[in-house]
Amino acid sequence: MKILGISGSPRLQGTHYLVNYSLNYLKEKGAETKYFTVHKKTINFCRHCDYCIKKKEGCVFKDDMEEVYKGLEWADGIIIGTPVYQGTITGQLKTLMDRCRALVAKKPDILRGKVGMGIAVGGDRNGGQEVALRTIHDFYMINEIFPVGGGSFGANLGATFWSKDKGEEGVKEDEEGLRVLRKTLNKFYKALKMLKTM
Ligand SMILES: Cc1cc2nc3c(=O)[nH]c(=O)nc-3n(C[C@H](O)[C@H](O)[C@H](O)COP(=O)(O)O)c2cc1C
């Protein structure tokens, strides 16, 4: 079972900690993992030049997305974490998602049948975490990845955190968030196992 974790935070704080917490949790169950953070990476905006559609050779830009493309192709499961910015995902993560158009244009079935889950970290208790999760789930659906939530009675759409703007320290203090994250990770792991044995 191969899992790629992506952090959409420009910092190595709460989201970075939580995506790595998730990868370590699944490593203990026997998964192989890779991690990518947008921190200090160069990811150009998609400029809708349609090079990827016309050439079917990937993106016209050769930047840090090369690592993401390789990781997405390699993975069976994808965990995307994001801080909440202006009520939704970060601009860095949105740019990364936009750039995946080139990957799918080159290989249309590349992401089909993989499994994905999300983690959203807000400074406020109700700061837009669910909107951010839904944006991550939309990305999965558009790219034929099965989105997995945490299940009813407690975890619902997936893992949401209230960092109180205290970065890593803040998410570590959010015990309810960590409980919901573990519940979501267990569902994600089960879904991956189901798909692998089909
Ligand atoms: C530009 C910007 C916009 C933000 N907008 C929101 C918001 O809409 N809702 C919210 O709850 N927190 C918001 N925050 C706070 C971050 O989501 C919060 O501090 C988060 O824990 C940062 O995650 P990180 O530690 O992984 O970087 C914003 C922070 C920044 C820098």
Structure-token match 């990811």, residue found: 43
Q: Compute, in angstroms, the gap from residue 124 CA to the centroid of ligand 1.
A: 8
Q: Compute, in angstroms, the gap from residue 52 CA to the centroid of ligand 1.
A: 33
Residue 11 Cβ inside 6 Å of ligand 1? The answer reads: yes
Residues 2-30: pLDDT tens digits? 999 999 999 999 999 999 999 999 999 99
CA angle 47, 49, 50 (to 5 degrees): 125
Residue 126 Cβ inside 6 Å of ligand 1? The answer reads: no
Using alpha carbons, list the distances in angstroms from residue 135 to 88, 130, 141: 7, 9, 10
Average pLDDT over residues 171-196: 97
Using alpha carbons, list the distances in angstroms from residue 112 to 14, 115, 168: 30, 9, 33
Containing 52, the helix (H) or strand (E) segment is helix 51-55
Residues 82-115: pLDDT tens digits? 999 999 999 999 999 999 999 999 999 999 999 9
What is the pTM for the complete model shown? 0.98
Architecture of domain 2-196: 3-Layer(aba) Sandwich (3.40)
- Check residue 198 and give its pLDDT: 76
